[in-house]
Chain A
Amino acid sequence: MPDATPKSHYWMGFRAALPFLLVVFPFGLLFGVVATEAGLTTFQTLAFSSVAFAGASQFAALQLMVDNAPVLIVIATALAVNLRMAMYSASLSLWLGKAPLWQRALAAFVIVDQSYAVSINTFEDTPNLTIGQRMAFYAGSVSPICPMWLVATALGVWVGDGIPAWMALDFAVPICFLAIIAPMMRTLAHMLAAVTSILCALLLAGLPYNLGLLVAAVVAMSVGAQVELWAERRGAA
């Protein structure tokens, strides 16, 4: 509906992102708990969640920090986890690239998996939206998620050790990641990249400071790209 107002597009985006609160809330809660257990103060934990604002990488960083890994290794590993956002950024730039710089600068700060996914789906389904309508939809899709991430982190800090061990919260992170990864297995290339990543990470688990994960990621990306090329050539032949 190209004639609707930016305001209504904002609320369309908002509604589209609401279900993701179910995932963001326990994830943020767990970060608050784990960070506090690791010895971060309340202020540090909240600063971490608001400055980095990227759950998966925050967990990865925290895990290495507990092992006292050098800062460079912590940063390199966490940034590797966030590299997928360069892909999101590239793909969003096709749709939002003509917006004013200040809007793009703000939009970039809040790129998260879920908002990216619903926005791109909408932009591709309704390609005749104006740039203002697209930006409004995107802003709406991040609005429920961003504040909840911080509220959940704060609640996790507050509840802390009050969560009993039988709840096995340690496993919420693997379960959350597995649930996010599973729908990504769209093509043979995606699957082989994921299998490569798992095998390399397990084989190289003995390397210090998670270096194995970085190597595994680079090898897996190349495998994905090569399989895609091979599949294209086969499809063309």
Chain B
Amino acid sequence: MTDLYIWAVIAILGVGTYLIRFSFLGLIGGKDLPPWALRHLRYTAVAVLPGLVAPLVLWPDATGGEVDPARLCAAVVTFGVGMMTRNVIAAILCGGITLFALIRGLGAY
């Protein structure tokens, strides 16, 4: 990684992210959006984040890409608690405890 590469990513990502954030709030103000656009935008978060996480859960770098029971269980517990309680903090705590308990219990790292 060269310095130029790192700074290019930081600068372009910074400008691009700002433009995304500024987009509607800055340019459109209080006007309405076409329904089809809103309908797609509504699913942006659930379309991107699960796909980002899935490989990290199934094939973690820490185990060299092997499926790891401790991490898999922790992921299921986090998601399950999150869905049932809708409480981000409870989900993180339960997932973290599961991970540590299993890592210790299974003797993995």
Chain A residues close to B by CB (< 8 Å): 19-20, 22-23, 38-40, 44, 47-48, 51-54, 56-58, 60-61, 65-66, 68, 71, 74-75, 78-90, 92-94, 96-98, 101, 104-105, 107-109, 111, 165-166, 168, 170-185, 189-190, 193-198, 200-202, 205, 212-213, 216-225, 228-229
Flag if A86 contacts B44 (CB, 8 Å): yes
Q: Are B29 and A56 in contact (CB under 8 A)?
A: no
Binary per-residue interface labels of chain B (1-20) against chain A in the complex, 1 for a CB within 8 Å, 0 otherwise: 10101111111111011101
Residues of B at under 8 Å CB distance from A? 1, 3, 5-14, 16-18, 20-26, 28-31, 33, 36, 38-62, 70-71, 74-75, 78-83, 86-89, 91-92, 95-96, 99-100, 103, 109
With A51-B11, A65-B6, A183-B83 given, is the CB distance from A83 to B44 under 8 Å?
yes
Judge whether B48 and A108 touch: CB under 8 Å.
no
Contacting residues, chain A, for B46 (C-beta < 8 A) = 181, 184-185, 190, 193-194, 197, 220, 224
Contacts of B38 in A (CB 8 A): 87, 90
Q: Do B17 and A52 touch across chains, with their CB atoms under 8 A apart?
A: yes
Partner of A225, one of B11, B36, B91, B95: B36
